[in-house]
Amino acid sequence: MSLPENALQNTEIFSVTRITEMLKDLIEGSFPFVTIEGEISNYRPSSTGHIYFTLKDETAAIAAVLFKGKARSLSFIPRDGIKVRASGSLSVYGLRGSYQIIVEKMEESGSGEILKLLEERKQKLAAEGLFDNDKKQPLPFFPERIGIVTSPTGAALRDILQITRRRNPKVSVTILPCAVQGAEAAEQICMQIRRANMFSLADVLIVGRGGGSLEDLLPFSEESTVRAVFESKIPVISAVGHEIDWALSDFAADIRAPTPSAAAELAVPLLDRITQDIQSGMQSLCETMQNRVQNMRLLVKSFSAENLELKLRSIEQPILQRFDDAKEELLFSVQERIDTAKQRIAFARRDLEAANPRSILERGYSVVTDSVTGHIIKDASQTVSGQNLLIQPYKGNIRVIVTKE
């Protein structure tokens, strides 16, 4: 399509800067925030932490930059060939006459729907108690056999075998091969976990694979896989992907390892350390036994006839002393009571004798009574002339007749 001749004559002449500014205002004003889906290419992380790359599809490409602060929040590791959805603002770079997208958020294409599905599944399984900590089993201290449910050709298996041989060659390894991605992977993983439990093929199971996209790791988040991990009577270590990767089997497993290599280190104890602990324990046990034997010898030596007699006397002497003291105290108490009783009897006897009429008569007194009535005469006015009286001195009786002047 060509412009009219008069239009060409009246066309305004723009400087490069002016036209660039106009395009900048047009593009940045029209697209303040967009989401672009495309494939990463020319991936170039810088030393400062910023990430530069290109988003492309079959017929076009656009430059993109993800600054350091936003790059830290990524849930996956970007690399060439990954299809992503990048959200941000369009910006025109005048010095190069190019435009780019400044990415604020980026996720693998389709991961939004996958994450929503996984979150719903996670909530459902958590409500059933499949992720409860109190249902998790402890790892055995010294497993004799390690079962590995993973791809037989993957790097994860090589890493686990290498670390197992290095840490403890005494531990045997049973490989339970299965697909770790694709439509049939979840079924094969479940089958191998159940087979290991049915035939007691291992003391601990490592279930996992190396890193991959969110779609690649989906078999380890299938409900069937999560239930198989939870129902396993053999303790399970989940080792899916790299440290930033995750799967629902991580929550159902008895322990989660950030990588397959870390899973091998968790499952397999160091033989050198165990040997050292055993030797140290033996030495400590021998020293303890020697000390106890020595103490027993000293104790037995103290049980000679002379020492036993001394010990018996040391026990007997205080008891005998207490008996002697008690006897002396009892005798003294009894004697004191006897003396007190004698004294009281003497006082009573003296008082009794003092009150005895014969004692009074013995001192020269007499009792005068009417010989007829027997009444004691206490006053001379009680007598009359010619009255017969009986006088009773200390010894004998005197009869008299009263005469009055």
User: Is there a single domain that holds both residue 118 and residue 254?
Assistant: yes
Cα 94 from Cα 195, distance rounded (Å): 64
Read off the DSSP letter of residue 134: G
Q: Which is more confidently placed, 370 or 115?
A: 370
User: Is there a single domain that holds both residue 176 and residue 240?
Assistant: yes
* Position 141 pLDDT exceeds 80: yes
* Position 110 pLDDT exceeds 70: no
Mean of pLDDT values over 139-152: 94
Q: Which stretch of 163-167, 321-325, 373-377 has the lowest confidence by average pLDDT? A: 373-377
Q: What is the pLDDT of residue 1?
A: 45
Q: How many domains does the chain have?
A: 3
* Position 6 pLDDT exceeds 60: no
Q: What is the pLDDT of residue 4?
A: 53
Domain boundaries, position 254: 113-133+142-269
Q: What is the pLDDT of residue 398?
A: 86
Return the bridge partners of 102, or none. 65, 89
Strands 255-256 and 367-370: unpaired
Determine the straight-line distance between the first and last CA of the chain, rounded to whole angstroms.
Answer: 200
User: Is there a single domain that holds both residue 147 and residue 258?
Assistant: yes
* Position 257 pLDDT exceeds 90: yes
Tell me how far CA of residue 357 lies from CA of 353, 369, 378, 392, in angstroms: 9, 15, 15, 11
Is the residue at 275 inside a domain?
no
- Specify the CATH number for the domain of residue 70: 2.40.50.140
- What single-letter amino acid sits at 161? L
Largest CA distance in the chain: 206
Q: What is the pLDDT of residue 121?
A: 93
SS3 content of the chain, % helix, strand, coil (to 5): 45, 20, 35
Q: What is the pLDDT of residue 32?
A: 84
User: Is there a single domain that holds both residue 120 and residue 241?
Assistant: yes
User: Is there a single domain that holds both residue 125 and residue 167?
Assistant: yes
Q: Which is more confidently placed, 178 or 402?
A: 178
Mean of pLDDT values over 348-373: 79
Is the residue at 37 inside a domain?
yes
Contact 263, 208 (CB under 8 A): yes
Strands 204-209 and 398-401: unpaired
User: Is there a single domain that holds both residue 253 and residue 127?
Assistant: yes
Using one digit for the tens of pLDDT, what is the confidence trace for 82-109? 788 899 999 888 888 888 999 999 888 7
pTM equals 0.53
Q: What is the pLDDT of residue 5?
A: 54
Q: What is the pLDDT of residue 310?
A: 77
Q: What is the pLDDT of residue 184?
A: 93
Using one digit for the tens of pLDDT, what is the confidence trace for 312-336? 788 888 888 888 888 889 999 999 9
Helix (H) or strand (E) holding 99: strand 98-108
Mean of pLDDT values over 380-405: 82
Range from 17-26, 66-75, 259-268, 314-323 that averages highest in pLDDT: 259-268
Mean of pLDDT values over 349-372: 78
User: Is there a single domain that holds both residue 124 and residue 265?
Assistant: yes
Bin 394: left if φ > 0, else alpha if -120 < ψ < 50, else beta.
alpha
How many residues are present in the chain?
405
Q: Examine the fold and report which residue of 242, 269, 296 is the final residue of a domain before the chain moves on.
A: 269
Q: What is the CA radius of gyration of the chain?
A: 60
Three-class SS of 16-75 = HHHHHHHHHHHHHHHCCCEEEEEEEEEEEECCCCCEEEEEECCCCEEEEEECHHHHCCCC
Long-range contacts of the stretch 385-391 (C-beta < 8 A, 24+): 391/366, 391/367
Using one digit for the tens of pLDDT, what is the confidence trace for 10-50? 577 888 888 888 888 888 788 888 999 888 888 888 888 89
Mean of pLDDT values over 218-239: 95
Q: Is the dihedral of CA 370, 374, 379, 382 positive or negative?
A: negative
All residues at 6 or more sequence positions from 300 whose CB lies less than 8 Å from its CB, including other chains: none
Contact 108, 86 (CB under 8 A): no
Per-residue tokens: 59? 């017929």
User: Is there a single domain that holds both residue 125 and residue 201?
Assistant: yes
What average pLDDT does the chain have? 87
User: Is there a single domain that holds both residue 176 and residue 42?
Assistant: no
Q: What is the pLDDT of residue 224?
A: 95
- Percentage of residues in the chain having pLDDT higher than 90: 43
Mean of pLDDT values over 135-160: 93
| Cβ count within 10 A of residue 224 | 13
